[in-house]
Each structure stands twice: as C-alpha cells, then as structure tokens.
Structure 1
Amino acid sequence: MGIGDKISNKAEELAGKAKEAVGGATDNERLEAEGQADQAAAHTKQAGEKAKDAAKDVRDRLS
C-alpha cells in the first residue's frame, strides 16, 4: 500500500470518527450514521490495499 493511500484512508477514517462524535454530541442521528459509513468505507479501502500488498508479496516470492 502506498503511503499516499495510507494517509488518505486514515484521514477518511478520522473524519468519519469526528462526524460520528459530533452527531452523537448533537443528537444528530443522520450525521452519526454518515460518520459510521465513512469509517466503514475507509476500512474497506484499507482491507483492499492490504490484499493487494499480500498478492504482490506472493507474486514477488514466486518470481
């Protein structure tokens, strides 16, 4: 996973956590749900990047 992707995914995750916290503090269920969705999207992207890295490692070992 490239460092740019890691930073971008982490920033998206942190923004989601902030949205969720603000939504919880203001009793705004929609904003809280958006924050949770943003975090889930970031986690999915991170998992995809890790899978790509693992596949690259396997390919490199077989070469």
Structure 2
Amino acid sequence: MFQVRFSYFARPRRGRCDCCDRQQTLEGKILLLEDTALIGDLILCAECAAAWGELLGQAREKVIQQ
C-alpha cells in the first residue's frame, strides 16, 4: 500500500523547493512510501507544503466518505 507522510524541519533552512523550483526557506518534506520502503521525497517551501497539505487532506476526506 502506498502512503504519503509529511515531515517538518525543526529549523527551516534556505534552499530550492522541489515543487515550485524557487530559492526560498524550506519548511517541510513529503515522504512517499510503499509499505515501509521509501520511494521518494519532496522538499517544500511553506506555500507548496500548505498547498500539498490541502490537496492531500481533501483526497483523504473523499476516500473516507466513499
């Protein structure tokens, strides 16, 4: 089964966001897992992390409703 997990940095750092490709303060990471194996990750700025969180939250609600 595939899973998506959010992780947040204890101290935000500067770098390039994997989603929007802008040089910004990076605040979070999305981990893509198959069972317990890590498939990939995305390092995200605050704006992209909020957008992904909202998208994944809506998808989770849709699955629960069905």
Q: TM-score of the superposition, structure 1-length normalised? A: 0.41
Which structure has the highest helix share of the two?
A: 1
**Which of the pair has the greater relative contact order for Cα pairs under 8 Å at 6+ separation?**
1
TM-score, structure 2 as length reference: 0.39
More strand by share: 2
Say which one has the larger Rg: 1
